[in-house]
Structure 1
C-alpha cells in the first residue's frame, strides 16, 4: 500500500513538475506577447504624436514670422516675404492674408486674390490666443485634397492634413488625429477606419472592437490627440513565434521561477527596462562627429555621440536620452560613453595630442564632482592629456547655477575645457555667461539653418560669435550642411564647425581615418571673397587657456 501510494505521489509530482511549468509557460507567452505588441504600438503612437507636434510647430512658427512682417499687406514685397516663409516651412503649402469677413486677400501661391474668390465661413475651432482652424473641403487654388487652414491675426497658413499622419511604417497601422476641443476628426491615413477611430477616441478604450488593437496619445502642447491601431491577428503571430521558447524555459526552470518571470517581465518589456538592460550589457555604442577648423578644414577633434540600436532599429537619441534622464540612467550612459572613448580612441589620442573628444554631461553631473572623479580615475595611467577630454553642457543643466559654477570650475582646474552646448536655446544665456567659467560656445543648429534666409533668427549666429569674441571665448558652429553657411560663419569670426558638410558621425575606425587623411585645403578661406578675415590660424585650439581667454 505504501509502495503504491509512493508511486502515485511520485507520478503526481512528476506530472505537476512537468505540466505546471508548461501551463505557466503557455500563460506567460500570451501575457508577454500582448505586452510586447502593445509596447511596440505605444512606441509607434509616440512617433505619430511627434509628427503631429512637428507639423503643428511649423505652422505656428510660420504665423509668428508673418506677424513680424512690416511691409504693407499684399504688397509685392509682402507677398515675396510670405512666399519665403512658406518655402522655409516644408509642411506649409500656402500662406497669405484674409480680412475680418473671412475673404482671402492674397496668397503665396496665387498672389493677390480677386475679391470674394475664396471665402472662409465660421471656423471649426478657435483657440484662446485667437488662433483659428478651418478644414476647407473645396479644392482651392488647385489643391488636390482639402486643406487645413490655420489663421491668426489676419494671417493664414494652409497645410495638407495628411502631413499630420505621414508616419512611415511598413505594416498596416492606422493613424487618426482628433481635435480635443471639438472632438472632430482632423486627419486619417488610408488604413484607418474613421468611424472606429472616433469611437475609440471618445471612449478612451476599445474593448468592444475585436479586429484591431489601439493606442491613444494626447499632445501636451496642442489640442490634438492621436489614435493608432494595428490588426489583432498580429498578436497571434507574435504568440506563435515565442511559444516554444517560453514552454521550454518553463519546463527547465520550474514552477518556482515562473513567479519571478511574471514580476520581471512587466518591467523588462517597458522601454525603460530595455534601455537599462542595454546599458547593463554595454550595448550603447558611440559615434564621433568631427569638428574642423574652418580656415583649413583640419579636423581638431570630435563630439562623442551615444547611439542605441534596439532589436535592429536605431532609437533616436532625443528619445532615449530624455528617457534616461527621466529614469535616472543618464549618468550610467555618460560613464559608458567615456569608457568607450578611452577603449576605442585611447591609443589614437596618445599619438595625436592636438586632437580631442568632447563628452556631453547631464544636468545632474553639474551639481556634484561625481563624473569629474570618475573621469580622473579612468584617465589615470592612460597617457591621455586632460585637455583631450572636453566637457559639453547644455544651458538647461544650469538650473542650480551656483553648483554648476563650482563644478565647471573644478573641471577646468583639472585641465578639461568646458563648452556650452546648443547655446542660445536656453532662457538665461547672457546672465549665465557672466558667472560661468567656460571656454567655448556651440551655436545650435537651428540658428545655423537660418543663415541666408530672411528669418527672425537669421542674425542670431553672428551675434553669438560677436558675444563670444567679446568674452574671449571660442565658437563651434553645429549642423553646418552647406558651403555658404561655412563661408558666412568664417567671415563672421567663427573658427570651428561640425556638420554633414564636413562629415557625418563616424565610427572610431572611420574617424581615425578621417583625421589621418588630413584637410582637403583651406576651402572656406578661399571661398569668402570679401577680404573679411576670420581668427588667425596661429591661435590656440578651443578650450586651451590663454591670457586672452582664461576666465577662471
Structure 2
C-alpha cells in the first residue's frame, strides 16, 4: 500500500477508534441504566413479598393462639381483651375480630352496634386464609382495611403495610396481586390493569416495558400471590445521565488512546517502509540456516536459508513483519536477490567442498512472475564454481496461483539443474492440482500436520495420507517443525526421508552450520558412502 493509502486508512481507522469507545460508552450507559432500574424493581418486589410473607405468618400465628384458647362466649369482654393483647404483639396486625362465615361479629378497634356482613371473599389460599379487601368499619369509614380470616377469627390489617417501602416522593409504583384472579389486593402509585392481565401466573418472574414504564412482576413461593413494581422510563434517563457522566470520559480517554495507537502504528509502518528501503542499501540483512537432517543416516544434508533483518539500532525485525511489507511495497524481489547473494557468499566454499550438501532458498510469488530469479541463481552459482544441485528453491502454494507465468519459470529453474520443493504443502486450497500441474522434486510437509503426529487428533490421518501421496508421486519429503522424538520416529517409520526442526537444531550462522555438519557427518560416518535414493540430495 502506498503512502497516501496508508495515511487515508490510518485516518479512517483512527476516527473509528475514537468514535467506537464513545458509542460503546453511551450504549453501556443506556444498558446499565436499564439494568439498574430493573434491578431496583426486582429488589422492591422481593421486599414486598418478604413483608407479605411475614404478615401472613403473624396472622396465622395470632389466629392459631386464639384457636388454642377458645372463649366460651363469642365477643365477650374476655375474648376482646385476649384479641387486643394479641394484636399489640404483632407489628403488622392492627386489630383482631371474631367471624361467623363472611360476617364480622366484633372487633378490637371499635364497638360494633351490629354484625358487619363482608360479602364474597377472595381465597381461600393454601393455608386456608380468606381475604376481604377495602373493608370499611363503622365509625372508621374514612379508612380502608383488609380482613384476613381463618375459621372463626380474623386479623385486621392495613392493606398497604406490605407496600409501605417507599417515601411519598418516590416515582416507583408497587402492588400486591392475587395471581389466579388477576386481582390487585393493594397498590401504591400507577398500576395499570393490563400489566396484571399480562402475568400468566406460571411461577416465573416477568419484566417488560409498557407505555413509558418498566414493569417487574415477581411471584411468591406459593404462586398464589405476586408483587408488582413499576417505574417510569424517565427514571432510567436520569440514571443514564449519571452513568454517562462517569463512563463517557473513560470512553473518550480510551478512544483517544486507541486513535493515538493507530496513528503511532501508521507512522511506524511508514517509518518501517522507509527503513526497509534503507536496509537494502545499508546491507542490514543477513542469513540464518536451519539444518536439514537425513532421517535414515542422521547426516546433515543441507539447510534452509532464512532471511533476517537487524536494523541500524541493533533491533531484530521479525520476518512476519518485513516480508509482507516487502511484498506489499514491491521490494520482495530485491530481498530475494540479496538472500541469493549472501547465501553464495556465505556457503560457496562449504558447498564446493561437499557436493552432497545443498542450501534451500525461498522464492516469493513475485519471483515466479519473471525469469530474473532463475537467471540470477544460474549466474551466481556459476561464478562461485558450484553445481546447480547445491542450491534448491522453495515455493509456496500461494506462489503458484498464476500457472501460466510460474510454470515457465519453474521449468527454466529445473532445466538449469536446480531442484524445486513445494513448501507448506496442504495449507492452500489446490494442493493436489499443483502436484499434478508442476514438475517438483520435494514436498515439504507443513508443521501444522507434523504437530498432529503422536496425538489422537483426527487430522493425523491427513498427515499420513500426505506422506502416502508423496510416495506414490515419487517425491522426496522434508518434514518441517519436528520438535520431539515421537514425531521423528513416526516420520522415519512411514518413509519420510528428511526433516528439520528444533529437535535437531535452531537456525544458526554459517560458521555454526559448518561445525554442525562436521559433527553429524562424523556421527554418521558409517553411512556417508551410501548413495541416496534416486532424486535425493545430490546423490549423497
TM-score normalised according to structure 1 size: 0.49
Compute the displacement of 1:381 (Å).
2.8
Q: Secondary structure at the match of 1:493?
A: coil
1:539 corresponds to which residue? 533
Equivalenced residues, count: 294
- Superposed, 1:352-501 pairs within 5 Å as 352-501=354-503
Alignment CA distance shift 1:431-1:453 (3 Å): same
- Superposed, 1:513-524 pairs within 5 Å as 513-519=515-521
Compute the displacement of 1:472 (Å).
0.5
User: Is the CA contact 2:533–2:539 (under 8 Å) kept in the aligned structure 1?
Assistant: no
1:279 corresponds to which residue? 280
User: Is the CA contact 1:300–1:356 (under 8 Å) kept in the aligned structure 2?
Assistant: yes
Compute the displacement of 1:306 (Å).
0.2
User: Which runs of 5 or more residues in structure 1 are unaligned?
Assistant: 1-34, 46-192, 207-211, 218-227, 230-265, 526-535, 547-552
Q: Secondary structure at the match of 1:502?
A: coil
2:40 corresponds to which residue? none
Rg comparison, structure with higher value: 2
CA distance in 2, matches of 1:520, 1:491: 24
Instruction: Verify: 1:295 aligned to 2:341, yes or no.
Output: no
- Superposed, 1:19-34 pairs within 5 Å as none
Alignment CA distance shift 1:396-1:543 (3 Å): farther
2:346 corresponds to which residue? 344
Deviation digits for residues 231-261 of structure 1 (CA, Å, limit 9, x no counterpart): xxxxxxxxxxxxxxxxxxxxxxxxxxxxxxx
CA distance in 2, matches of 1:431, 1:502: 32
- Superposed, 1:174-189 pairs within 5 Å as none
Q: Secondary structure at the match of 2:507?
A: coil
CA distance in 2, matches of 1:302, 1:349: 11
User: Is the CA contact 1:287–1:306 (under 8 Å) kept in the aligned structure 2?
Assistant: yes
2:310 corresponds to which residue? 309
User: Is the CA contact 1:417–1:544 (under 8 Å) kept in the aligned structure 2?
Assistant: no
CA distance in 2, matches of 1:485, 1:466: 16
Compute the displacement of 1:297 (Å).
1.2
Compute the displacement of 1:492 (Å).
1.1
Alignment CA distance shift 1:267-1:380 (3 Å): farther
User: Is the CA contact 1:418–1:439 (under 8 Å) kept in the aligned structure 2?
Assistant: yes
CA distance in 2, matches of 1:366, 1:214: 39
Q: Which moved more, 1:390-399 or 1:274-283?
A: 274-283
User: Is the CA contact 1:439–1:543 (under 8 Å) kept in the aligned structure 2?
Assistant: no
CA distance in 1, matches of 2:330, 2:426: 26
CA distance in 2, matches of 1:194, 1:292: 59
Compute the displacement of 1:538 (Å).
4.0
2:90 corresponds to which residue? none
Compute the displacement of 1:540 (Å).
4.0
Compute the displacement of 1:200 (Å).
4.8
Compute the displacement of 1:499 (Å).
0.5
Q: Secondary structure at the match of 1:488?
A: helix
Instruction: Verify: 1:199 aligned to 2:267, yes or no.
Output: no
CA distance in 1, matches of 2:269, 2:432: 44
User: Which runs of 5 or more residues in structure 2 are unaligned?
Assistant: 1-6, 18-245
CA distance in 1, matches of 2:457, 2:268: 46
1:321 corresponds to which residue? 323
Alignment CA distance shift 1:478-1:459 (3 Å): same
Deviation digits for residues 220-239 of structure 1 (CA, Å, limit 9, x no counterpart): xxxxxxxx99xxxxxxxxxx
Compute the displacement of 1:543 (Å).
5.7
User: Is the CA contact 1:302–1:357 (under 8 Å) kept in the aligned structure 2?
Assistant: yes
Question: How big is the alpha-carbon RMSD for the aligned residues of Structure 1 and Structure 2?
Answer: 3.2
Deviation digits for residues 108-155 of structure 1 (CA, Å, limit 9, x no counterpart): xxxxxxxxxxxxxxxxxxxxxxxxxxxxxxxxxxxxxxxxxxxxxxxx
CA distance in 2, matches of 1:447, 1:537: 29
